[in-house]
Amino acid sequence: MKSYLAAAIQMTTVPDLSQNLIQAEELIDLAVRQGAELVGLPENFSFMGEERDKLAQGDKIAQETQTFLRKMAQRFQVTILGGGFPIPVENTGKVYNTALLIDSNGEELARYQKVHLFDVNVPDGNTYRESSTVMAGQELPPVYSSPDLGNIGLSICYDVRFPELYRYLSKKGADVLFVPAAFTAFTGKDHWQVLLQARAIENTCYVIAPAQTGTNYDRRQTHGHAMIVDPWGTILADAGEKPGIAIAEIKPSRLEQVRRQMPSLQHRVF
């Protein structure tokens, strides 16, 4: 593993696939021009709209999104995480919320289907039922081992509330944890930052958290603040509330230092 720059992209995705992919390309280009070698896109980066529209366009969204990720990775010669988009599940009427990690040759390195689905009545009056259109993944998320970028663990949004998933990733040797998200504005203001810092601190890992921001459609508002957090819990970059990027250096020397100073993973009893 070497030192390198990583970027967490922040978008305001809307119910228009083409418009979203144009926005994503512009932000990938911005990240690469600033030196990023690992780029993460948020959950729902290619489409965010009514559930019925997502299902109606499911095949198109899945095909065009996967083609887009491969083209971007090859064109910019970077590793890209597509942080969550729908892939239809045959004969179910539902989709998997899928994250793909793609290398600079356009090859798939890792795939993860979100296991924790957001079925919540938020106190601001909004109700979310992700399981109405999404099928929960059945497999634990992967850790992809890159000689240059380190051991990269995948997750998606609501997963961040389940520390056992990240403990599993750390036991598998993760150095970097991806948490692409579309956190609600209401829950994000209280929980987003502290959860990211907790996952970084307790697992002594870097956390790269791409995010959605602003008004995506109708009453759907997302929190923003795409972040990169270091293994000590220090926030290295925060994209704020507008579309853009959070970019920071991932350093193996910092990982080693924190793990030496706070060897909590070696002290686990249970």
pLDDT band at 127 (very low <50, low <70, confident <90, very high): confident
Query: Which is it for the CA torsion 154, 101, 227, 19, positive or negative?
Result: negative
- CA-to-CA separations, 265 to 170, 175, 221, in angstroms, rounded: 9, 13, 37
**Contact present, 46 and 61 (Cβ < 8 Å):** yes
How far is 65 from 86, CA to CA, in rounded Å?
9
Q: How many residues does the chain have?
A: 270
- The predicted-structure confidence for 42-101, as pLDDT tens digits, reads as follows 999 999 999 899 999 999 999 999 999 999 999 999 999 999 999 999 999 999 999 999
> What's residue 158's pLDDT?
97
Please report, rounded to a whole number, the percentage of residues in the chain having pLDDT higher than 90.
Answer: 95
- CA-to-CA separations, 68 to 24, 45, 156, in angstroms, rounded: 10, 11, 20
For residue 60, what are its two tokens?
């198109």
How far is 33 from 75, CA to CA, in rounded Å?
13
Which active-site residues does the annotation give? 43, 114, 157
Report, as an integer, the average pLDDT of 174-196. 97
The whole domain housing 196 covers 4-267
Count how many domains the chain has.
1
How far is 134 from 266, CA to CA, in rounded Å?
37
Task: Compute, in degrees rounded to 10, the torsion defined by CA atoms 123, 124, 126, 130.
Answer: -60
**Looking at the DSSP assignment, which residues form a beta bridge with residue 178?**
208
Mean pLDDT of the residues in the chain? 96
Q: In this predicted model, which residue has the larger pLDDT, 234 or 128? A: 234
For residue 56, what are its two tokens?
């109606």
> What's residue 139's pLDDT?
97
> What's residue 255's pLDDT?
98
> What's residue 171's pLDDT?
96
User: Going by C-beta distance under 8 Å and a sequence separation of 6 or more, which residues neighbour residue 213?
Assistant: 10, 11, 12, 222, 223, 224, 225, 226, 239, 241, 242, 243
> What's residue 126's pLDDT?
82
Report the CATH number that the domain containing residue 135 is assigned in CATH. Answer: 3.60.110.10
